[in-house]
Structure 1
Amino acid sequence: MKVFNDRQEIQAAAGTRLGHSEWLEIAQDRIDLFADATGDRQWIHVDPERAADGPFGRTVAHGYLTLSMLPFLGAQVFAFAGDVARVNYGLNTVRFINPVREGDRVRDVVDLLTVEDIAKGQRATMRHTVEIKGVKKPACVAETVVLLMEGDSL
């Protein structure tokens, strides 16, 4: 895991690959919990019998479930030390390229694209590529923007 200790280290890492997370299995119980939390109970996600005859051969994770895993998976790749508040600023792009089927194992590959100094700290843009073990095309590619603000700059 890459730990950034100060603004200079963060700036110096712009344009580099930070690494990748461990593989995580996406089991049906995780899919079901996400369906319950969001109210999206479409059969391709929650009905294994019907999904077996569907377009993907078994249930698939919601695209937004895959996206919601970025903080958990990303925390295995990098961290910001010290008194830094990390605030999600938004997403530039998100593409769901390949479905994550129940039982697939995924990991997050993180690239730090740019780092800009701003009045309250820094703005970092990262690309997260969620890979599926044994599958050539990734599940998701998302460009996230994070504000890094020190101490009382909130």
Structure 2
Amino acid sequence: MRTFASPAELLGAVGEPLGPGRWHRVDQDRVDLFADATDDHQWIHVDPERACAGPFGGTVAHGYLTLSLLPALVTGLYRVDGVRMGVNYGLNRVRFPAPLRVGTSIRATALIVAVEPVPDGLQVVTSVTVDSAGGGKPVCVAETVSRLYLKEDR
């Protein structure tokens, strides 16, 4: 994990790569729970028997499930001392270049693209790439926008 001792140190880290992070396995139970939460029960996600004969040779995770895992995947890549709270502010761009086969492990690497002051904190733009174990192409590439709110005593 990269620890930035201050917001100023983070400001100076634009262009710095982070990671890779730890592996996270995406299993069928997680995919089924996501399908229930989103009402997206397409057979390529939830019917392992039918999906074996489908285009991916088995079930695949929803792209939005992969996207929803970004906070867990990025946790542990970096932290900034003096931050009281971080929030997801949005996304600039998201792509899913390859399917994520169920049962596969994924991990993230990141690149700090921009850091700008905002009231009470910083806005951080990070390019995150999610790779799968044994995969050739990434399963997700996203440019995330986060807001880091600083402790009041800084």
TM-score by length of 1: 0.93
Instruction: Report deviation, 1:20.
Output: 1.4
Which residue of structure 1 lines up, in the alignment, with residue 35 of structure 2? 35
Work out whether residues 129 and 140 of structure 1, in 8 Å CA contact, stay in contact via their aligned partners in 2.
Answer: yes
Determine what percentage of the aligned residue pairs are the same residue.
49
1:56 is aligned to 2:63: no
Q: Any idea what SS the aligned residue of 1:71 has?
A: helix
Which residue of structure 2 lines up, in the alignment, with residue 133 of structure 1? 133
Could you report, residue by residue, the CA deviation over 1:34-80 in whole angstroms, capped at 9, with x for unpaired residues? 11111111111000001011110000000001001110010021123
Please, which moves more after superposition, 117-126 or 36-45?
117-126
Which residue of structure 2 lines up, in the alignment, with residue 12 of structure 1? 12
* Gapped regions of structure 2 (runs ≥ 5): none
C-alpha RMSD of the superposition: 1.3
Work out whether residues 112 and 124 of structure 1, in 8 Å CA contact, stay in contact via their aligned partners in 2.
Answer: yes
Which residue of structure 1 lines up, in the alignment, with residue 84 of structure 2? 84
Instruction: Report deviation, 1:120.
Output: 2.8
Instruction: Report deviation, 1:82.
Output: 2.8
CA distance in 1, matches of 2:125, 2:56: 33
1:109 is aligned to 2:82: no
Work out whether residues 20 and 76 of structure 1, in 8 Å CA contact, stay in contact via their aligned partners in 2.
Answer: no
- Count the aligned residue pairs: 152
Amino acid at match of 1:134: G
TM-score by length of 2: 0.93
Could you report, residue by residue, the CA deviation over 1:75-110 in whole angstroms, capped at 9, with x for unpaired residues? 021123334321211100000110000111111111
Amino acid at match of 1:15: G
Runs of 4+, deviation exceeding 3 Å: none
Amino acid at match of 2:143: E
Q: Any idea what SS the aligned residue of 1:135 has?
A: coil
CA distance in 2, matches of 1:83, 1:115: 14
Please, which moves more after superposition, 30-39 or 81-90?
81-90
